[in-house]
């Protein structure tokens, strides 16, 4: 049902975790996929994984740090035109909110918000001119339910919701949609490290996961971590022509974590 044949998609931060799963899903749906990361080795390895995962069109990589203006320029030079932009790159981590200094606040904003803004600013005009496009920003349940141990992260993801809504208005009536995806607690390597920051490091992973969900994410209705492929399924749908009437939204793949009817 989801056919992205003839579309070109860039997924930032797609060498592992949610980003890699999204790249694999879009490629399997027929899109030509551009993998992005900061290291040549990890990008090359991710390109091979996407190719071997059922890709039916070209898969290529672009090595660039999109948290910096020159990195965004390098991506734009390598890929001047896109149909689908997925701003997945992000950082997170637990910290005592009273100890987070100005530089760390700026680092979270630059990485999780401004990097996405730069790429939207670069690619949205071309999408509007062509009359079709998809911009998807990977947000988090933390944008709505600010974690006490990750206020700086929650702030950045809340800002990303505003960015998505605002640029959707900029693209109004053009055939281009802009949405954010609210991902719930998801099972990635980085999250495994984060879980072990908050629970007993000697626990086996399955027990540690259950302990983390019980103590730190008890409102989850799924009562387990979400798999990256489950986030990718929603992204593939929103990137497709099937989602033509969904724009300016914050679409939840959170396992029922956010205790609200709307975000």
Mean pLDDT across 160-170: 98
Average pLDDT over residues 154-167: 98
Q: Alpha-carbon distance 23 to 44, whole Å?
A: 13
**Quick check: 263 pLDDT over 90?**
no
Over pLDDT 90: what percentage of the chain? 90
Query: What whole-number percentage of the chain has pLDDT above 70?
Result: 100
| pLDDT surpassing 90 at residue 173 | yes
At 194 the pLDDT is: 84
Q: Is the pLDDT of residue 230 over 90?
A: yes
Positions annotated as catalytic residues are: 153
Strand order in the sheet with 84-87: 59-63, 32-37, 8-11, 84-87, 133-140, 176-183, 250-253
Residue range 1-52, pLDDT digits in tens: 899 999 999 999 999 999 999 999 999 999 999 999 999 999 999 999 999 9
Residue-wise pLDDT for 113-122, tens only, equals 999 999 999 9
Instruction: Identify the pLDDT of residue 223.
Output: 86
Q: Comparing 190 with 214, which gets the higher pLDDT?
A: 214
User: What is the structure's pLDDT at 181?
Assistant: 98
Going from the N-terminus, what domains does the chain have, and what CATH number goes with each? 8-186+226-253 (3.40.50.720)
Residues with Cβ < 8 Å from 136, sequence gap 6 or more? 84, 85, 86, 87, 178, 179, 180, 181, 235, 238, 239
In the block, residue with structure tokens 């910096």: 68
Phi, psi for residue 175 in degrees, rounded to 5: 90, 0
Tokens of 257: 């974590």
Model pTM score: 0.94
110 half-sphere exposure, CB direction, 13 A CA radius: 13
Sign of CA dihedral 198, 153, 88, 42: negative
Computed over every residue of the chain, the mean pLDDT equals 96
């Amino acid at each position: 049902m989801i056919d992205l044949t003839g579309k070109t998609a860039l997924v930032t931060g797609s060498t592992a975790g949610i980003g890699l799963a999204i790249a694999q899903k879009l490629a399997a749906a027929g899109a030509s996929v551009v993998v992005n990361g900061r290291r040549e080795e990890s990008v090359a390895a991710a390109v091979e994984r996407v190719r071997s995962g059922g890709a039916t069109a070209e898969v290529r990589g672009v090595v660039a740090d999109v948290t910096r203006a020159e990195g965004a320029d390098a991506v734009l030079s390598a890929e001047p035109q896109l149909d689908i932009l997925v701003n997945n790159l992000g950082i997170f981590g637990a910290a005592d909110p009273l100890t987070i200094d100005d530089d760390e606040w700026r680092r979270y904003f630059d990485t999780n918000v401004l990097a996405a803004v730069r790429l939207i600013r670069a690619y949205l005009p071309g999408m509007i001119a062509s009359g079709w496009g998809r911009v998807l920003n990977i947000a988090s349940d933390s944008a709505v339910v600010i974690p006490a141990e990750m206020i700086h992260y929650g702030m950045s993801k809340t800002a990303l919701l505003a960015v998505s809504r605002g640029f959707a208005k900029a693209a109004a009536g053009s055939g281009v949609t802009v949405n954010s995806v609210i991902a719930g607690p998801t099972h990635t390597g980085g999250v495994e490290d984060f879980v072990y920051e908050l629970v007993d490091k000697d626990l086996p992973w399955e027990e540690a996961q259950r302990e983390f969900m019980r103590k730190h994410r008890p409102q989850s209705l799924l009562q387990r971590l979400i798999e990256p492929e489950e986030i990718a399924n929603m992204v593939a749908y929103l990137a497709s022509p099937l989602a033509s009437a969904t724009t300016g939204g914050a679409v939840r793949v959170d396992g029922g974590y956010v205790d609200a009817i709307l975000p």
